[in-house]
Amino acid sequence: MLPSDKDYTPNQIPLTTRILRTLGSVALLAYGILGVVIDDLVIPGKRNSMHLHGLNAWLMALGIACAAVTLLAVVVDHYDRRNNESVYRRLESWAGKLGWVLAGLATGGEIAGIHYPQPSTITTISAVLGGFTMLIISAIGFVKTKPAPERSPKSNPISSRSHETSNAHTLASTILGWVFLIAGGVVLVLSLPGLLRFNITSFVAAAAAIALFAIGVTIRRPDNEKTSESPSPAASAQHWKTVRITLLLIIGLAVIWYAKSRQWGAWLDQDETERLAAPAWVYHFEDFTGGISRELLQKQLVKEGFRMRCYGNLQPEERLEPDDLEVCWTIANSTDGIPSRMITFWFGKEGLRQIRMDFAKADWPSVQKWFEAQGSVLFGNFGREQGGQQIVGRRGKTGLLLTSAPGPMNWVMVLWQSREILQQRSCAKADSSIGENWGALCQNWPAWKPQAGFVQRMQSEAN
């Protein structure tokens, strides 16, 4: 039973401890605030010091503030006459954990090359080193260290050394366990958006996160088992329970993906039936210009025998641009002899903005040759897809064409972005943060009044 307030005796913290903790917390807060104000928070090192700026400085300053809270919690507990010791212990514990996590994020971000709001210099090696550093430092905050037992004059030195070795092994395994747990949490959070879109890569990442959780729980043994020379039956049963739960969760993800893939298979069969009955696509990307209205496009394509479906009120994941308002799609029999899958059109307030054409994965060699015969100038690479494939861009008369080799998904995509949206988004704003090719594209694109081939055909048929 918990003692009542009448029987409770408040904590008595020595005056020296209170003074030192108060001065320490004030010094930490002052140091963190100063570092943020001058945008140079220095972390002293044995040989070299680390200078944090921008976002990393703010994260470290918040971590330092958490450390100040852990110092002040004991002092405040001394003056609180109520039975709130457990509250202050939890505050001290969680403030310490949060402080270590923030310190890990700041240090890992600095090593990774994240310098927001200044331009970042992230490389593959720096990202791996930064992520690993973040995990290690964050895990330290979740480890509960225990003071070493006092050695009596009659204690056995060999037994003491064995006990110290056991403690070191326990500490290392606990830190490693938390590394796996935190890594699993990070991977799971990053995979959540893709899970909602049933992205196969995100499902694999979520399964890996579950496995990391299981490894972390297994390595980070319960406190009552840390001193055991061999695992007890209860610990073995707990580990087996962890394995079973892990397998069930991974199998559940596989079942969800299988059910969704079967649904996609049914959709593909329906699309193939519609494709065989649809007319061929006789247009090229340069027959379209930005600004064509949705009504005009839909009216003309329906007249030519295409089945058009359109809707608005787009969700964020359905937009290519944040201010897209409507989307339409149709299926064509073929495009220049290549079997087509789906042709999608995005519209903004000013009209048509982007067109995407999908092809089967097996048709990638034909699509690649067809793509090379499109735009007038090859502008090289424009970043990478989620699967790591290089995005290649060609400049046409009315817009920019982008494509990449097929990745985890079973189709190839070719995207046309209207010249108008490029000029509005990148050229007019001199946006160089998304790659030097965008700047070269804007500077070298000759002035040219687009000829609306699609509109011309519609007008000629009307006459």
- pTM greater than the 0.85 cutoff: no
pLDDT grade for 1, boundaries at 50, 70 and 90: very low
**Residue 394 and residue 374: Cα distance in Å, rounded?**
8
pLDDT grade for 328, boundaries at 50, 70 and 90: very high
From the centroid of its chain, how far is CA 304? 43
Q: Of the candidates 348, 343, 307, which has an alpha carbon nearest to the alpha carbon of residue 326? A: 348
Report the chain's C-alpha Rg in angstroms.
Answer: 31
Burial class (CB in 10 A: 0-12, 13-18, 19+), 323: exposed
**Residue 92 and residue 302: Cα distance in Å, rounded?**
67
Report the b/e string of 185-224 with b at 16+ CB within 10 A. Answer: ebbbeebeebbeeebbebbebbbbbbbbbbbbbbbbbeee
- Flag whether pLDDT at 284 surpasses 80: yes
> What token pair was written down for 161?
């050394």
DSSP 207-268: HHHHHHHHHHHHHS--GGGTT-SS--HHHHHHHHHHHHHHHHHHHHHHHHHHHHHHHHHHHH
Q: Of the candidates 235, 178, 244, which has an alpha carbon nearest to the alpha carbon of residue 212? A: 178
Q: What is the pLDDT of residue 264?
A: 57
Residues in the chain: 463
> What's the pLDDT tens digit per position in 82-125?
777 777 788 888 888 888 888 888 888 888 888 877 777 777 78
**Residue 347 and residue 312: Cα distance in Å, rounded?**
9
> What token pair was written down for 160?
């003491």
Per DSSP bridges, beta strands 334-335 and 338-348 are: antiparallel
> What token pair was written down for 242?
């962890």
